Structure 1
């Protein structure tokens, strides 16, 4: 136990204080649009250990804030405007963590300036914007800039390990659950502002949608039901949302996301507004179809498997995969159960397994560090892990989100006025 705790402390320390790599000639010089809170975790810290990435500049609407941000994080150049940053000839790539409603406009401007773009999820506000952006002619051709939607959890070895535990056609039911306790964000946070394309489905919920699509390996046939709790200051935004989907063969998917979780305690009348910490560790529950076979003695053996992935969003901090196998022996003549058994196996995967040693990674690499590795590989035309979020994937993601909002009776997130319609 002591050794495991020490290992965890060492790993997490290295995640926040990684070794600083000597930068190579030709390293990507990246600029950040906005002094976003996510930027240190998503780019600045991971870049320290990457020999081919330099965070070289930042711009924000508030120049003083950008200056303070740059000073705190050791960024040498502060531009007065987003346009100045995008048009800086010394910058190769742009990281865009702006509010969702600004993703389309500023990503397209960066691409037009010849910059590669690492784009925070969700990529844009709706499927119309997604099709316009990801199918844009500027992304076609051999020398086109690279555009990646930052679904970082997919790049960690854990997710590949999970997907290799089953055949997609054997999946029967999937539930993705994620929440943050009430008070984590103020009620007027940008996540709850409709005109900025806010909503829980556009934040934590977008991860849940992504996991369902990744596990089933296909798009849902229909959205069966949606229930949501409106944000108190902007009822066009969902503060919490639950949705059920039907996939091929009648298989079921469900998401449950809440950015202001509260209640669930005894004496509900008194405790209903207390912050809830029940689902602070995001999880995905995967139920596989039962397998039935004949065994000796004329008995029938039924095997059912369930896989629970704990903390799929930030597995570098901590994660665990529970593989639960239940077996039942039954006499098919009278239906009597002769014997039942339950076994549980636990898996953890912080780096690529030995048989995949050609793939780069360290136990302390975060999901963002793994993603940055692949972003650089794609920009520099290097062979990498093979993991990527393809343009079609990003489009389908937004189509499923749009369909969910339509079923809920909520308006789609607003389209940016700069939208370009492909001819």
Structure 2
């Protein structure tokens, strides 16, 4: 349900509340049942490595509404599993091994949603075959691997069939949605003092033996939900941090992997003096609220930015100071719902004594389910994954698109920041 509905009802704005409610369900209906246009003759044929749980929302469903994309094949180590998956999602071809799919000359691009520790190996094999790659986050296990992958000469080697050089994209899907880009456009980066990001999953979502918690597969909270926090911090500051100041982890319960964390907090300093903090938890306790005590309340992914600016003299001996906070609720999947709240606290004070002469607060709210700028393609029901797929195809086709992209240098910097937190926390880098 939309974040603002309760507020509208409490204010007596029932018409606005109902419109918000109806809009939500219209979007969700179209997300699940997207239009399916005819496929173009030269549609990009994508193969999936693994019969993954994330595949349907991340690429299978988004591809249905894209006229230039066909999900052509799936490969799994268990061929029976691949066939069952293919039948369920209408995929025409299955392979009994990842390599067989990669070697198929009819496959143009490969989606890699394998466990983190397998990304580097299979991404290189895809590049060797000249395939384009949509690579699930995190791109690889550590910064050394990232540097090796994204500086590989294979990225400059033309595909013998098409003559095109491979495109590789780390799938940090939230970055591609107009809501997150709108949020970034509202920031004054020079004035940022402090940023906090939170992201979590409820404690019951993943058992302690899940692959997300296996060190040898490059698991851990920071390598899972925490990657989005890192992306958000880097995007907010528009730069890379100078130093990881502190980091702490919460170990898994006794009996689970001893060097793999279920939760992590970390703090970095940026060149402008701003501080960015991260709180990522894959097993957060769930609060219970509501009139009857049975409504689960799971913390929403939030980015909070605090800015401070001395505007200057408003008259002789007085100055105005503006403290501004910009919060984005549900930055992870804003297509479901989101809210961008801007609060400005104005203080007029005496220059010498700092005595407050006048103060007031201004507040506004923004939403962006589609691009506002002309020339940027999108629909109000597009998910973050659909927006991401659009830009992946645009890059392969050589089109400008929305202009949002994650290049190899950015993916290397992403892993360097993750590594710095593990080092500060005293945990070994993911292998």
TM-score interval (norm. to shorter): over 0.9
TM-score, normalised relative to structure 2: 0.91
Q: Deviations over 1:215-273 (max 9, x none)?
A: 1111111111111101230021110000011111321010000000027789xxxxxxx
Question: In structure 2, which of residues 329, 334, 350 is the aligned counterpart of residue 315 of structure 1?
Answer: 334
Residue 70 (structure 1) aligned with residue 86 (structure 2): yes
User: Which residue is 2:358 aligned to?
Assistant: 339
User: Which residue is 1:171 aligned to?
Assistant: 192
Residue 197 (structure 1) aligned with residue 221 (structure 2): no
Q: 1:42 to 1:263 in 2, by over 3 A?
A: closer
Distance, in Å, in 1 between the alignment partners of 2:112 and 2:80 is 19
User: Which residue is 1:270 aligned to?
Assistant: none
Q: Deviations over 1:126-154 (max 9, x none)?
A: 01110110000011267311100011111
Query: Following TM superposition, by how much is the alpha carbon of 1:16 offset from its aligned partner in structure 2, in angstroms?
Result: 1.5
User: Which residue is 2:270 aligned to?
Assistant: 247
User: Which residue is 2:405 aligned to?
Assistant: 388
1:235-384, aligned counterparts within 5 Å? Answer: 235-262=258-285, 277-279=297-299, 281-296=300-315, 298-353=317-372, 356-384=373-401
Distance, in Å, in 2 between the alignment partners of 1:53 and 1:375 is 10
Query: Following TM superposition, by how much is the alpha carbon of 1:291 offset from its aligned partner in structure 2, in angstroms?
Result: 2.4
Point out where structure 1 has 5 or more consecutive residues left out of the alignment.
Answer: 267-274, 415-423
Distance, in Å, in 2 between the alignment partners of 1:198 and 1:107 is 18
User: Which residue is 1:402 aligned to?
Assistant: 419
Question: In structure 2, which of residues 30, 45, 61 is the aligned counterpart of residue 45 of structure 1?
Answer: 61
Distance, in Å, in 2 between the alignment partners of 1:190 and 1:199 is 9
Check conservation: 1:182, 1:276, Cα contact below 8 A.
no
Q: Which secondary structure does the structure 1 equivalent of 2:99 belong to? A: helix
Check conservation: 1:57, 1:85, Cα contact below 8 A.
yes
Q: Which secondary structure does the structure 2 equivalent of 1:250 belong to? A: coil
Q: Deviations over 1:104-131 (max 9, x none)?
A: 0011101111110000000000011101
Distance, in Å, in 1 between the alignment partners of 2:403 and 2:127 is 23
Query: Following TM superposition, by how much is the alpha carbon of 1:201 offset from its aligned partner in structure 2, in angstroms?
Result: 0.3
Q: Which secondary structure does the structure 2 equivalent of 1:215 belong to? A: helix
Distance, in Å, in 1 between the alignment partners of 2:134 and 2:327 is 30
Q: 1:13 to 1:37 in 2, by over 3 A?
A: same
Residue 58 (structure 1) aligned with residue 79 (structure 2): no
Query: Following TM superposition, by how much is the alpha carbon of 1:333 offset from its aligned partner in structure 2, in angstroms?
Result: 5.0
Check conservation: 1:262, 1:276, Cα contact below 8 A.
no
Q: Which runs of 4+ in 1 moved over 6 A?
A: 263-266
Q: 1:276 to 1:180 in 2, by over 3 A?
A: farther
Point out where structure 2 has 5 or more consecutive residues left out of the alignment.
Answer: 1-16, 159-163, 290-294
